[in-house]
Structure formats: C-alpha cells, structure tokens
Amino acid sequence: MTLLSRLAAKKILRVAGLMSGTSADGVSVAIVDIGKRRLALRAFDTVPYPSRLRSEVLRLSEPGRVCVDDLCHMNFVLGEVFASALRTVASRNRVPFDTLDLIGSHGQTVCHLPQGKHFGKGVLRSTLQIGEPCVIAERTGVTTVADFRVRDVAAGGQGAPLVPYADFLLFRHPKKSRCIQNIGGIANVTYLPAACTLSEVVAFDTGPGNMVIDSLTQLVSRGKMRYDASGALAAKGRVNPRLLAELMRHRFLRRKPPKSTGREEFGRAFSERLYAHARKKRIPPQDILATATAFTAASIADAYERFLPRSIDEVILSGGGAHNRTLVKMLQAEIARRGGSTSERPARVFLMDELDIRVDAKEAVSFAILARETIRGAAGNVPSATGARHPVVLGKIIPGGK
C-alpha cells in the first residue's frame, strides 16, 4: 500500500492546517483530529511574523512593487517560516510531532486577480500564494497539501472563498439558517439555509474586513499602532454619514456573487486615498476610523440584504474582526436595522467560540479539512460560491517521509 493510500484509509487523521491571511499578521496553526463524523481541535496558536518580514510580505502584495527576485526568495523563506511555526505550536501544546499525518497549507496570498486579465481572445483569472510546500514537507517529513486555490481557478472559478465546504460540514443546522461570517483582512460569508444541501450553499467576499481599519489605524497613530485593539479608537470617534455613503457606493459592493477581492481593491493605496480625501474634508482622524469601521459593518449587512434570501436566524463570527467590539456592535445594529430574520426578532450575532471552535482558528481548521478531502480524492470547492464549472479536487500533494 502506498503512502497516500495508507493516509486515505485511516479512520482518523491528525492534520495541521496552516494559514496566513491578507492581514499578514503571522502563521495560524490548527492541529485537529478528523474522523468521518467528528473533529477535535488539539492545538491552536498564531506565530507572528517578525515586523521586518511582515513589511516585506505586505510590500510584495502591493500592485506594482514586486521584484521577481524578492518574490522567488520569499516563497522559500515563508516555506521555512510555516514549517517552523508548526513545530513551535506542536511543541507548545505537547503534541508529539510524529503523530502528525498530514499538513494543509494555504500559504500567503500575494496576488489575487479574480476578474482576470486579457489573454488571447479571452480573459484569464489568476491567483498566487507563496510559502513553498516542498520546503514544508522536507523540513517536517509530513505529507503536505497546498496551493488549493489554483485548481478552482483553472476550472473557471475565482479560487475563493474556499472555506464554505468546511463551513457546510461544521455548521449546517437542521432548523436554523446561518451566516458564517469571517472578518479577516477581507470579510467573507457562507450562507447555510436550514437543512441545506451543498449545492444550496451561498458564499462570497462581502468586502473589506480589518484591512482598511488596520491601515487607517497606522495612519492615524503615525505608525505607533498596527491595529485598533477592541475598536477602542473607533469608539471615541463619530461616524461621518456622508463619507460612509461615499464608501458604500464602491463598485465591488454592487457586484453580484460569485465574487472575491483582496488588497488589489482594498489595500493600502485605497486607505491612503481615503485618509487624504477625509482630511481634506477636515474630518477628525478618530471619526475617519469610526467611519471605516462602520463601512465594514454596513458592507456586510448590505451584502446580506442584496444577495441572500431574507431568512437568517444566526450570524456566527470568526476571524480577527470578531475581537473588535466596536465593529461587532455596529454589525449587530446594522443587521437589526435592516431585518432579514425568519422571525420578528433580528438574527442573533455571536462569536464562534460558543460552538467550541475559536474565532481565530476557523480558517486554519478549514484548510486541514480541505487537505483531508484532497487525500481522499474528494472535491473541496463549492462551485456555487466560486463560480467554477464543476467540483474539483483541490491542491498539490507533496509526499512526506511517513
């Protein structure tokens, strides 16, 4: 029996999911035991990028600033960093490294072009994640699945969002319709109607998550703060309704799903233009930050109103934005104001922690699940979410030494 067939045949796999999002804060590592009908989180932690490395990753992610030599080098650097992060988290949590069966690594997105560019007589979509998986497999000795997005893109999809498959397995409810709302650098939702089938799942990026808020926090604090902890600065400001109305006219918000976005639309250049525009209007810095926070909340609620059936019972939050109390309060208020629940009461908004999966762990857990599906030869994309022509097995497999 071959290595891959042995892995596919195991009833319970111990899988490490590795993830670094658009905020490029560091490597999130989730170690989970996955069986046919159970999932147990054994360890989770995030190993921060050193500040110099983070700056370099963000520089590579900004359009027009990429040197191919640096991109090539950083691909291998992040492979080393991801492998080291896994060893660190396993050691901290006393998970014996030789018990790991599989690694699923999302990598670090440095470019995502879901609208595509002209090639020949058509338009070709593309996406690029770095963090060389061959380095991860070589340093750990563990079979590694990576580069999940590209097969979906090759099949006509946008390569995002990819977490809906895991959301379906983990959070589908027989009686409640749920929105699984992740707020990372970019915000994305998975809508699970009560007792839904996989083909009924709706998922897409709703717009900015923490990305604009974080960039403006750095501008407002003159580089002294990387992010607005708990939304404390935004809570001191007032939302400027005219500026918010301008932001809500952004073309991405009107675009129909399937859709995905990233730094190409809501990166530092967007935030710098927004900050300069607002200061020219003499809007106080804290009001700018409050308005940007309201923009994330309003764009999420607006997406529900525009693109989802009006039958939401619960909104379950994950990602770094779930820690931003000001943002969560604004989102609760927006959802209550717009309605859209199955009863007279507005949909309940709460953190994923209540369902025994930590808000910061969900995406890393999702890529562990996708890696298991790949090893089993099962499709892991949701065409109704990505726009792919058909379901496909995701990722590239690099055999380890076990």
Q: Residues 233, 279: one domain?
A: yes
Q: For 82-127, what is each residue's pLDDT tens digit?
A: 999 999 999 999 999 999 999 999 999 999 999 999 999 999 999 9
Q: For 260-287, what is each residue's pLDDT tens digit?
A: 999 889 999 999 999 999 999 999 999 9
- Full domain range(s) for residue 17: 3-159+361-398
**Rounded-to-integer distance, Cα 142 and Cα 13, Å:** 12
**Rounded-to-integer distance, Cα 200 and Cα 177, Å:** 12
The distance from CA 38 to its chain's CA centroid, rounded to whole angstroms, is 23
Q: Residues 209, 148: one domain?
A: no
Ranges of the chain with pLDDT below 70: 1, 339-344, 402
**Rounded-to-integer distance, Cα 325 and Cα 118, Å:** 43
Number of domains the chain contains: 2
Q: Do residues 19 and 363 lie in contact, with contact meaning Cβ atoms separated by under 8 Å? A: yes
Q: Residues 74, 170: one domain?
A: no
Q: Residues 277, 367: one domain?
A: no
DSSP annotation of 360: T
Q: Residues 289, 381: one domain?
A: no
H-helix or E-strand containing 108?
A: strand 102-119
Q: Residues 168, 257: one domain?
A: yes
Q: Residues 285, 332: one domain?
A: yes
Q: Residues 212, 114: one domain?
A: no
Q: Is the pTM of this model over 0.85?
A: yes
Q: Alpha-carbon torsion 298, 62, 76, 53, what sign?
A: negative
- Cβ burial 117-147 (10 Å sphere, 16+ → b, else e): eeeeeeeebbbbbbbbbebbbbbbebbbbbb
Q: Residues 198, 306: one domain?
A: yes
The CATH number linked to 327 is 3.30.420.40
pLDDT value for 342: 47
Peptide bond into 161 cis (omega under 30): yes
Q: Residues 210, 147: one domain?
A: no
